[in-house]
């Protein structure tokens, strides 16, 4: 009697893929359900990570709009009766040339001589008695540094500053009280008997809202009319610096040296408080909350996928037992189940990535945010789906690999 040596069975990768594809096609119902489970898990993960980035971007944008963009530089008050001008010549121009600075300009409250101030809209009109509007001396660059927007007429130009022109700007709130309209009719106001031609009406001044109730003159004209700045006018001169968001701290540290490298300590820089620390705390809390929800949802979906894969493997007990009886090895059975689970996970991952992006876009539009999705979380999504299916199929594959053919072929029993 001749002993015939049997060759061990071999399962090649193309054969495993072909068998997994045939099994998926033959049982499209359970396959669709499993892919949908993976799709929901991947979509939840991608959407949660995308919403984290979108929410953090919205929070950062909201806090960026509240970053300090205006600095005020002052000098100590002098004890002299007629103190000298505290800032060197060209200080505002040097500050305006600094990186991160948008504009810079000197201003001070103009000194008003005499008794009560009377303002009228023309020689023949009735004066507005008892009205004492603040009169601001605005140096070159101050209007831009204060964010002044002229709604009617024009602002000061270089000629006005160079020739001490008797022109002025009137805030919109004060213009309504005076009955001023479009300043194209050569309207005049009188400040202590001095006539000023209204060239424009200030519509808004976000950095200095008080300017809406004030009269502004070129600094050269204010000096010619009322004299140099000093304590009788209510305060000394100051420099307003408008900076880009995020540059306030750096500019505040370097500005005194830009004004005077020899004596920088005599200048004080006032910086509004920055909400950067609060921004980090809010972003960290949002990131932690979404991360917990993201991983919790993914784990629950994986548990559901694993349980359903185990149920499907139990239903295929006769088929897997017949394969074992015909010579399939345990590892072949395990590879078959794992390949099928990985393919279903890959298909679900592809669909889940698209669904997650759609959820991010729709949620961002509903909240009025800008959708943000990190490519690092999108490109690996199909691979993550395949890995999820692979992990979910480990337990069913292990149990199926240890099936006893006699048991599987005689009765339908759970694994």
Crossing angle between the packed helical segments 394-401 and 276-315, to the nearest 10 degrees: 20
- What is the mean pLDDT of the segment spanning 272-279? 61
CA-based nearest residue to 236, from 71, 116, 84: 84
- What is the mean pLDDT of the segment spanning 294-311? 68
Q: How many CB atoms lie within 10 A of CB 28?
A: 10
Is 290 a residue whose pLDDT tops 70? no
406 and 84 in contact (C-beta within 8 Å)?
Answer: no
309 and 396 in contact (C-beta within 8 Å)?
Answer: yes
Residue 166 is encoded by which pair of tokens? 């008797």
218 and 160 in contact (C-beta within 8 Å)?
Answer: yes
CA-based nearest residue to 198, from 240, 154, 239, 158: 154
Among 31-45, 84-98, 292-306, top mean pLDDT goes to 84-98
pLDDT of residue 47: 82
Residue 348 φ/ψ, nearest 5 degrees: -65, -35
pLDDT of residue 2: 45
Element (H, E) at 238: strand 238-243
Is 22 a residue whose pLDDT tops 90? no
Is 98 a residue whose pLDDT tops 90? yes
Top-confidence residue, 50 or 179: 50
Among 31-45, 47-61, 95-109, 263-277, top mean pLDDT goes to 95-109
Residue 198 is encoded by which pair of tokens? 């209204």
Cα 107 from Cα 234, distance rounded (Å): 12
269 and 255 in contact (C-beta within 8 Å)?
Answer: yes
413: confidence class by pLDDT, cuts 50, 70, 90: very low
Q: How many CB atoms lie within 10 A of CB 199?
A: 22
175 and 168 in contact (C-beta within 8 Å)?
Answer: no
Is 337 a residue whose pLDDT tops 70? yes
Residues 6+ apart with CB under 8 A from 171: 201, 202, 205, 211, 212, 213, 214, 215, 216
- What is the mean pLDDT of the segment spanning 228-242? 76
Cα 47 from Cα 43, distance rounded (Å): 6
- What is the mean pLDDT of the segment spanning 38-65? 76
Residue 280 is encoded by which pair of tokens? 């980090």
Cα 309 from Cα 311, distance rounded (Å): 5
Q: How large a percentage of the chain has pLDDT more than 90?
A: 12
pLDDT of residue 368: 81
Q: How large a percentage of the chain has pLDDT more than 70?
A: 66
Crossing angle between the packed helical segments 28-64 and 13-26, to the nearest 10 degrees: 100
* pLDDT digits 0-9 by tens, 131-175: 778 889 999 999 999 989 998 888 898 899 998 888 899 998 888
DSSP string, 154-181: ----HHHHHTT-SEEEEEHHHHHHHT--
Residues 6+ apart with CB under 8 A from 120: 126, 127, 128, 188, 189, 190
What are the beta bridge partners of residue 136? 109, 216
pLDDT-wise least confident of 52-61, 105-114, 305-314, 327-336: 305-314
N-terminal to C-terminal alpha carbon distance within the chain: 40
Buried b / exposed e over 223-247, threshold 16 CB at 10 Å, is bebbebbbeebeebbbbbbbbeeeb
Residue 405 is encoded by which pair of tokens? 């053919």
179 and 110 in contact (C-beta within 8 Å)?
Answer: no
CA-based nearest residue to 343, from 20, 47, 113, 55: 20
pLDDT of residue 83: 65
165 and 221 in contact (C-beta within 8 Å)?
Answer: yes
pLDDT of residue 4: 45
Is 240 a residue whose pLDDT tops 90? yes
Global pTM reads 0.58
pLDDT of residue 414: 47
pLDDT of residue 181: 65
pLDDT of residue 336: 76
345 and 386 in contact (C-beta within 8 Å)?
Answer: yes
């Amino acid at each position: 009697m001749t002993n015939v040596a049997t060759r061990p069975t071999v399962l090649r990768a193309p054969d495993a893929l072909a068998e997994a594809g045939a099994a998926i096609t033959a049982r499209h119902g359970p396959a669709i359900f499993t892919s949908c489970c993976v799709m929901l898990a991947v979509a939840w993960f991608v959407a949660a990570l995308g919403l984290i980035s979108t929410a953090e971007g919205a929070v950062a944008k909201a806090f960026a709009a509240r970053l300090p963009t205006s600095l005020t530089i002052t000098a100590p008050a002098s004890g002299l009766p007629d103190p000298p001008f505290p800032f060197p010549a060209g200080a505002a121009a040097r500050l305006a040339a600094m990186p991160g600075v948008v504009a810079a300009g000197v201003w001070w409250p103009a000194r008003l001589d005499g008794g009560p101030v009377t303002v009228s809209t023309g020689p023949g009109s009735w004066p507005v008695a008892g009205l004492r509007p603040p009169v601001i001396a605005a140096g070159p660059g101050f209007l831009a540094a204060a964010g002044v927007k002229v709604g009617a007429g024009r602002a000061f130009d270089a000629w006005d500053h160079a020739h001490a022109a008797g022109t002025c700007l009137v805030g919109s709130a004060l213009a309504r009280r005076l009955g001023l309209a479009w300043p194209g009719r050569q309207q005049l106001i009188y400040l202590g008997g001095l006539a000023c031609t209204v060239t424009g009406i200030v519509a808004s001044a976000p950095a200095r809202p008080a300017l809406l109730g004030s009269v502004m003159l070129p600094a050269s004209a204010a000096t010619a009319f009322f004299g140099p700045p000093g304590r009788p006018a209510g305060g000394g001169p100051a420099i307003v610096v408008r900076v880009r968001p995020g540059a306030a701290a750096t500019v505040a540290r370097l500005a005194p040296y830009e004004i005077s490298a020899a004596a920088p300590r005599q200048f004080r820089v006032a910086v509004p408080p920055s909400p950067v620390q609060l921004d980090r705390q809010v972003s960290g809390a949002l990131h932690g909350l979404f991360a917990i929800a993201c991983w919790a949802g993914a784990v629950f979906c994986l548990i559901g996928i694993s349980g359903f894969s185990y149920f499907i493997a139990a239903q295929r007990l006769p088929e897997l037992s017949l394969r074992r009886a015909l010579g399939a090895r345990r590892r072949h059975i395990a590879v078959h189940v794992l390949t099928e689970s990985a393919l279903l996970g890959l298909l679900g991952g592809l669909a889940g990535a698209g669904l997650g992006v759609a959820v991010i876009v729709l949620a961002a539009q509903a909240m009025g945010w800008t959708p943000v999705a990190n490519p690092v979380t999108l490109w690996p999504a199909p691979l993550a789906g395949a890995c999820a299916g692979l992990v979910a199929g480990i337990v069913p594959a292990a149990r199926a690999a240890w099936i006893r053919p006699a048991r599987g072929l005689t009765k339908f029993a759970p694994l």
